[in-house]
Amino acid sequence: MALLSHWRKLAGGSACIAGCLLQTVTPVSAADLALEARRIVGAGQGVQVETQTGRILVSEAGARAVHPASVSKLPTTLALLRELGPDYRFATAFLAGGPMQTDTIDGPLVVRANGDPYFVDENALLVAEALRRIGLHNVSGGLVVEGHLLFNWKADDSAARLRHALEGNTPAAAWAAVRVTKTAANTEVPRLQFDQLPTSAAGFKTTLVTHLSQPLRYTLKALNGYSNNIFAPFADAAGGIASVQEQVRVNLPPGYSEELVLGDGAGAHVANRMSPRVTVAILRALETELGKHGLDLTSVMPVAGIDEGTLKERFVDPQGEGFVVAKTGTYGDYGACALAGALRTRNGIVYFAILNRGVAIAEARRRQDAYVRVLMAELGALPWDYQRIDEPAFMRAEVMIDNMPGFTGDEFR
């Protein structure tokens, strides 16, 4: 174990020599990795490490379920992919709630939403431009929402805030981005004129425009990267949190199911519990599900040092950037700090889950990163075959005008 002895001098400080270590990998025993887990992460702190073939390399408190903070998003991610598929698009339809009189709806503009978590100012501008393109300028009956509308990441007062945007009241940068990237026909911000108060649609509804979100996998990638708690209502798209828990539990190895408890799908609920070995089982299942579609974990989870979000500033040196795909979890009030993900090695994928409890956040992260670097060095980690996509999310959205040739509506569910 000369290599581990050498690594011990590095784990608490600079890791700039890790590149040399990766070139001189020697066989490593599970006992040595377990010893290092207890030494670096802490005795009794949860650590599970498994190879792609199912060999358990480390299981320190592996069956003990603790609060996982935002690592709770992993079972939600898995359930959404199983239920909807990675190419699913959320549909937000805009309907005339009354007859069209020249350029005016004699009634409200009705928004029929199903919970698109990524509907923001730029998307509203795309819709406004499409409505103007079909000749709509005025709405006599205000704006009425049916279903679950999120706008700019919030559900509160979403109808009023969306109407404000459709009236042209968006940041200048939003319209500039839409004009440049979508080559909008008009140079001026598209604006609709609304009466002040919404009125009933009175049963008269004609679809004018339907906005289709970017494919699900991109939304999951972004929300996992920033660890946005919009995941909590997002779980409704997979049937609700009880359904998410059951869907994931039923496919866990025997004896694991009670080690997964979900009060929400994001990580804020006090009841949430996951064990390290359950977390690794979910990572493995997630990799399998993605593989059915020619994807891998980098498709829905952030890559450290490259993707924006909670891992952007971790593993940022040349020997770490691009080597770790993982989900973070932090909730100081619950004493929870977690890191769960995978390394790519010359012998296949290695999955890991580190679930700290009762350790100060900064110290927990230091321990997590130090131990993952030990795994990288000992197991011969390789960078993931991954290229970050910088295209704005709204560029992957589509706006369909009703009765357009070739549009069948089959995208909706």
Tell me the average pLDDT across 26-38. Answer: 83
Q: Give the bridge partners for 211, in sequence order.
A: 92, 399
The SS3 of residue 92 is strand
Residue 368 binned pLDDT confidence (cut-offs 50, 70, 90): very high
- Mean pLDDT estimate for the chain: 89
Share of the chain above pLDDT 70, in %: 88
Residues 6+ away with beta carbon under 8 Å from 6: 21
Q: Say whether both 193 and 150 belong to one domain.
A: yes
21, pLDDT greater than 70:
no
Q: Which two tokens stand for residue 54?
A: 């199912």
More confident residue, 200 or 66: 66
Question: Cβ-count burial of 298 within 10 angstroms (0-12 exposed, 13-18 middle, 19+ buried)?
Answer: buried
Count the neighbouring beta carbons within 10 Å of the beta carbon of residue 329: 28
Q: Which two tokens stand for residue 57?
A: 């390399």
Does residue 224 sit within a domain?
no
Q: Which two tokens stand for residue 155?
A: 């559900």
Q: Say whether both 198 and 108 belong to one domain.
A: yes
Number of domains in the chain: 2
- The candidate with the shortest Cα–Cα distance to 341, out of 315, 360, 318, is 315
Q: Say whether both 73 and 98 belong to one domain.
A: no
pLDDT of residue 182: 63
91, pLDDT greater than 90:
yes
Question: What Å distances lie between residue 364 and 33, 48, 269, CA to CA?
Answer: 18, 16, 21
pLDDT of residue 233: 83
Count the neighbouring beta carbons within 10 Å of the beta carbon of residue 172: 8
Q: Say whether both 79 and 164 belong to one domain.
A: no
Q: Say whether both 185 and 98 belong to one domain.
A: yes
Question: Cβ-count burial of 376 within 10 angstroms (0-12 exposed, 13-18 middle, 19+ buried)?
Answer: buried
pLDDT of residue 401: 93
Q: Say whether both 292 and 358 belong to one domain.
A: yes
- The candidate with the shortest Cα–Cα distance to 392, out of 155, 149, 122, 157, is 122
At position 399, the amino acid (one-letter code) is: V
pLDDT of residue 232: 82
Does residue 257 sit within a domain?
no
Does residue 355 sit within a domain?
yes
Q: Say whether both 38 and 148 belong to one domain.
A: no
Q: What is the DSSP letter of 190?
A: P
- Measure the CA angle with vertex 298, ends 348 and 115; round to 5°: 140
- Measure the CA angle with vertex 294, ends 288 and 300; round to 5°: 70
Report the alpha-carbon distance of residue 191 to residue 69 in Å, rounded: 42
- 269-285 per-position pLDDT tens digit: 999 999 999 999 999 99
pLDDT of residue 184: 53
Q: Say whether both 82 and 146 belong to one domain.
A: no
pLDDT of residue 113: 95
pLDDT of residue 11: 43
Sign of the dihedral through C-alpha 116, 117, 123, 125: positive
CATH of the domain at 321: 3.40.710.10
Q: Say whether both 73 and 104 belong to one domain.
A: no
Q: Which two tokens stand for residue 145?
A: 């929402």
Report the alpha-carbon distance of residue 69 to residue 336 in Å, rounded: 6
- The candidate with the shortest Cα–Cα distance to 86, out of 219, 233, 260, 216, is 216
CATH of the domain at 192: 3.50.80
Q: Say whether both 47 and 62 belong to one domain.
A: yes
Q: Say whether both 119 and 30 belong to one domain.
A: no
17, pLDDT greater than 70:
no
Q: What is the pTM of this model?
A: 0.88
Does residue 294 sit within a domain?
yes
Does residue 407 sit within a domain?
no
Does residue 333 sit within a domain?
yes
Whether residue 358 contacts residue 375, with contact meaning beta carbons closer than 8 Å, is answered with no
Whether residue 377 contacts residue 21, with contact meaning beta carbons closer than 8 Å, is answered with yes
pLDDT of residue 28: 65
The SS3 of residue 212 is strand
Whether residue 265 contacts residue 75, with contact meaning beta carbons closer than 8 Å, is answered with yes
Residues 6+ away with beta carbon under 8 Å from 216: 80, 81, 84, 85, 86, 87, 88, 89, 90
Whether residue 46 contacts residue 356, with contact meaning beta carbons closer than 8 Å, is answered with yes
Report the alpha-carbon distance of residue 117 to residue 231 in Å, rounded: 8
Residues 6+ away with beta carbon under 8 Å from 38: 60
Question: Cβ-count burial of 246 within 10 angstroms (0-12 exposed, 13-18 middle, 19+ buried)?
Answer: middle
Q: Say whether both 121 and 97 belong to one domain.
A: yes
168, pLDDT greater than 60:
yes
Does residue 229 sit within a domain?
no
Does residue 258 sit within a domain?
no
Domain that holds residue 208: 91-213+391-401
pLDDT of residue 185: 56
